[in-house]
Chain A
Amino acid sequence: MTVDIQLRVNGKQCQSAVEPRLLLVHYLRDVLGLTGTHVGCETSICGACTVLLDGKAVKSCTLLAVQAAGSEITTIEGLAASQKGNGNGAAANGALHAVQEGFWEKHGLQCGFCTPGMILTAVDLLQRNKNPNEAEIRAALSGNLCRCTGYQHIVEAVQYAAKKMSARKPLKAAASSGRSR
């Protein structure tokens, strides 16, 4: 038995017939081929599978694909393009979201497996709180586990991104050429 679902993923309309039990993370990875979203624990603890669902960070390993029907999903592959001013072809031309840039600048990753989820959780935080302090960053990241970095460089990466994002002036012309939401 399959169910028809429609949703937008990284700005593209997707239509699929899926088993009702298919996890969202497997839909993204195995059906759409977006393998930047990782599976770390299957129990919502580690956060490696974090994506943005209608702009909010969710763990895609414990959501069914059918639950995401009608929603708008952003995965790590589509993050750069989702940032105003970057444009649709952002990933292809190597443009980065400010949070991705922060992770690179501050050595916020080692093996990189938790990184997509960490980055999307940080994006969610910075949407809600433009200038978080260290404790707020640590609290926001506490649902994402990293076994390599010890988190300190990740905290610095988020601080870097917050600073960069608040310094950036809205680019009207560029924003209008970006993805409409």
Chain B
Amino acid sequence: MTTTFIGKPLKRKEDPRLIQGISHYVDDFNLAGMHYAAFLRSPYAHAKIRSVDLSKARRASGVVLALSGADVDGAIQPVPCAAQIPDMKSGARPVLARDRVLFVGEAVAVVVATDRYSARDALDLIEVDYEPLTPVVNPEKAIAKGAAPLHPGQKDNIAFKWELEGGDLKAAFKSADKIIKQRIVNQRLIPVPIETRGVLADYQPGEGQLTVWSATQIPHLLRTQIASMLNFPETQVHVVAPEVGGGFGSKLNVYPEEALVAYLAIQLGKPVKWTESRRENFQATIHGRDQIDDFEVAVKKDGTILGLRCHVIADLGAYYQLLTPLIPTLTGLMMTGCYKIPAARMEITGVFTNKMATDAYRGAGRPEATYLIERVMDIVAAELKKDPVEIRRKNFPQPKDFPYATPTGLIYDSGDYQKALDLALKVADYKKLRQDQARLRKQGRYMGIGVSTYVEICGMGPSSAMPAGGWESATVRVEPTGRVAVMTGSSPHGQGQETSFAQMGADILGIDPSQIQVVHGDTSIVPYGIGTFGSRATAVGGTAVYKSLQKVKDKLARIAAHILEAKPERMVFADGKIFAKESPKKSVAFGQAVSAAYVAKTLPADMEPGLEATTFFEPANFTYPFGTHICVVEIDAETGDVKIVRYVAVDDCGNVINPLLVEGQVQGGIVQSVGQAIFEEAVYDEQGQLITGELMDYALPRASDMCWIETERTVTPTPVNPLGVKGVGEAGTIGATPALAGAVADALAPFGIHHVDMPFKREKMWQLMHKNGRRVQ
């Protein structure tokens, strides 16, 4: 295969429709006779519901239906949880609260009206009699003795305990020169895709056909779950993920509103649309992170890490969403990072609190792992008074050690961690940075350098290790006119696979990418697929596309060879022609060979007509991208402002299909990390009120908060798939946060500080640098 397009920074095929504002996100669809739904949500974190009175709302102008939990009890099954941990307690969420509410924002009733404003107006006419109960907000207090359990009938708020151990931990700690302990907190975050969630459902009673448009990352899994929740035949459910305005894991879920809006459309025989408000998105779409990690690390004087153990308190919120209990376990699997640590132990306590559920937020468990191990490395370096780079280098596995088995049971596919580190140090001119830092410190200026060397687990994944299948599907169909449809089970929502998959098709079939249409997100067109998350769309979905393309190519080669009276294995596909390698002048046009497959008069004797191939690709392992990020900050002692002065990222995601898209993923991920490090924190008060419940109170990074990101790549292909690609969607959020945290801790080293918990807000920084209003010297 010649690579005319693979590896090139092609402009995106997706963009013309998006930059002209002429494509459709869920809220952009308007169906004839469409009604609007609005949800009444609990203002209490914890309360009994004595009664819900819908009578006034039902009489309001424009209102056609109003329902409470009692009205749908038994008709709609609770929100599904695909993750199973032995002995975990039940935490199923009803689609509408029945006799109690467990978090602020839990849906209590729904109203359907003829227009948006009438539906919202009617919410004010619903009377709910609540009996407030004491909320449990702090996860440590939630599991303390005497804390009242959230879920009636359970003895405490421990949802599950999970542990993992590998290597001889006892020996590691016995032979250590030093044991270092630290608590680090990974704060609760709110994903905030700029498009909130939205659902539109339409039911055709004659055909018995239910169509649901939803802002989702997993249209097929959603179809199965809607069918199950409504006890409706899955063959009659059609789910469409149209343009989706960002997900970051928050749309990798199944929500009450998705089943309810579908139910309402069936009940009314009218299309029903619901568009989430931003406040609802903050309160009732999944949150991320929220771990308290207590670690102990056993080290030698020379910086060799012998063993690591960690206890994690994972705040799960009140109920399970699709993957809630699974997320912290990924932290356990990746806890040793990119280091040869012979022994490790992780204990996780999953805790119920009166908050929205946590679940997969970009990185999902792995940013927490990388943050943990990278803080370990920095703190060890600080305690041993060694350079953080040298501590890391000392503990790297060597390239010859791959495939590398971790004590947590994973097999890292391929890697050259030194190479990425060396390149990053060179680009950043690390030596000079340290000299600058020393000079600035003498001037009373606080510059810090943070280095993060990370490995992540991607390309999710083998089905054996996934809660709901880890394969991906693709159908390639060449239409009689020669146009190629690539139907992928992945569900891109900004990642750009309409372009990168077309690049693959163009190279394999020897045609132009403009002849290839990548179709996704429609369960009636695309074969059953898993979806886009876990940096899997190219590594797993792309491989399925590649294999289907190869099957179609093989068939075309046989057809062309038959016409040319040559050998199929000698066929070359280039410039829209198919010819034998030795006689390029005697060729069959691509379209002619395609046509032959359909006209079916000149096919080899044993060949079926048609030109279509489907693959369900099951990967044998995860993939493990890696890299080094270096961040330089300066903290203003007068204001506490953390300014990012430089950012260097060297990422290795294996082979690259479109470097422009990779660049976009890396940059975007880094800035999302800047959000966690400096600005973002979901804060619930003691009463369980979400006081960062709007964008006015929850700051996202803005264009003006960033310096220029300098990016480089090394390329270490994976042997796990034939493309050699590893995935890059989450690299930024995994690699960057520890670099930022390391830089801030390093800047504060003159104050005797080794670790500060995120976010590094100005007030916190200022407080650390001052005592009684005076600068600490």
Contact = CB atoms under 8 A, between A and B. Distances in A.
A75 interface: yes
B672 A109 contact: no
A150 B671 contact: yes
Interface stretch (B70-78, B86-94, B489-497, B612-620): B489-497
Contacts of B732: 150
A56 interface: no
A110 to B, nearest CB: 4
A98 B496 CA distance: 22
Contacts of A145: 194, 695, 700, 702
A27 interface: no
A22 B494 CA distance: 31
B272 to A, nearest CB: 15
Interface in A133-165: 134-135, 137-139, 141-155
B296 interface: no
A138 B702 CA distance: 8
B245 interface: yes
Query: Interface SS of chain A: helix, strand, loop or mixed?
Result: loop
Contacts of A35: 21, 24-25, 27-28
A30 B21 contact: no
Contact of A41 (B16, B695, B706): B695
Identify the interface centre among A19, A77, A110, A141: most chain B CB within 10 Å of its CB.
Answer: A110
B696 to A, nearest CB: 6
Contacts of A75: 21
A147 B193 contact: yes
Nearest to B670: A150
B661 interface: yes
A153 B20 contact: no
B278 interface: yes
B759 to A, nearest CB: 17
B1 interface: no
A115 B18 contact: yes
B244 A111 contact: yes
A116 B17 CA distance: 11
A82 interface: no
A144 B703 CA distance: 8
Nearest to B247: A111
Interface in B245-291: 245-246, 248, 275, 277-279
A78 B158 CA distance: 56
Contact of A46 (B24, B194, B248, B493): B194
B694 A148 contact: no
A52 interface: no
Contact of A38 (B12, B195, B494): B195
B246 A43 contact: no
Contacts of B12: 104, 107
Contacts of A100: 19-20
A144 B695 CA distance: 12
A106 to B, nearest CB: 9
A165 B578 CA distance: 44
B3 to A, nearest CB: 20
B709 A152 contact: yes
A43 B694 contact: yes
Identify the interface centre among B21, B196, B660, B664: most chain A CB within 10 Å of its CB.
Answer: B21
B402 interface: no
Given A94-B16, A147-B194, A138 B706 contact: yes
Contacts of B248: 147
Identify the interface centre among A19, A119, A151: most chain B CB within 10 Å of its CB.
Answer: A151
A154 B495 CA distance: 16
A150 B245 contact: no
B703 A155 contact: yes
B668 interface: yes
Interface string B689-713: 0000011100010111010110000
A96 B16 CA distance: 9
A42 interface: yes
Contacts of B487: none
Interface in B1-30: 9, 11-12, 14-16, 18-25, 27-28, 30
A175 interface: no
A90 B695 CA distance: 36
B21 A26 contact: no
Contacts of A109: 15, 18-19, 494
B659 to A, nearest CB: 10
Given A46-B695, A107-B11, A149-B668, A19 B117 contact: yes
A37 interface: yes
Nearest to A158: B703
A4 to B, nearest CB: 19
A33 B23 CA distance: 12
Nearest to A48: B194
B364 interface: no
B194 A146 contact: yes
A103 B22 contact: no
B551 interface: no
Contacts of A43: 278, 694-696
A72 to B, nearest CB: 18
A170 B709 CA distance: 36
Given A111-B244, A148-B246, A40 B195 contact: yes
Contacts of A107: 9, 11-12, 660-661, 663-664
Contact of B703 (A29, A39, A137): A137
Identify the interface centre among B19, B24, B279, B704: most chain A CB within 10 Å of its CB.
Answer: B19
A113 B11 contact: no
B116 interface: yes
Contacts of B703: 137-139, 141-142, 144, 146, 151, 154-155
Interface string A112-134: 11111001000000000000001
A14 interface: no
Contacts of B664: 107, 110, 148-150, 153
A116 B194 CA distance: 12
Interface in B199-246: 243-246
A87 interface: no
Interface string B478-499: 0000000000000001111000
Given A42-B279, A111-B193, A112-B245, 20 more contacts: A22-B117, A35-B21, A38-B195, A46-B194, A96-B19, A104-B16, A111-B494, A113-B194, A119-B19, A138-B704, A145-B194, A146-B703, A147-B700, A148-B668, A149-B671, A150-B732, A151-B671, A152-B706, A153-B667, A154-B703
Interface of B: 9, 11-12, 14-16, 18-25, 27-28, 30, 116-117, 192-196, 243-246, 248, 275, 277-279, 493-496, 660-661, 663-664, 667-672, 694-696, 700, 702-704, 706, 708-709, 732
27 contacts: A21-B117, A30-B30, A35-B27, A38-B27, A38-B195, A38-B245, A40-B278, A46-B194, A94-B16, A96-B19, A107-B660, A110-B494, A112-B23, A112-B245, A134-B708, A138-B702, A138-B704, A138-B706, A139-B704, A144-B703, A145-B194, A145-B702, A146-B194, A148-B668, A150-B669, A151-B671, A151-B706
Interface of A: 19, 21-22, 26, 29-30, 33-43, 45-46, 48, 75-77, 80, 91, 94, 96, 100, 103-105, 107, 109-116, 119, 134-135, 137-139, 141-155
Q: Which 8 pairs of residues, A with B, have the shortest CB-CB distance? A: A36-B21, A113-B245, A112-B18, A111-B494, A76-B21, A110-B494, A150-B671, A150-B667
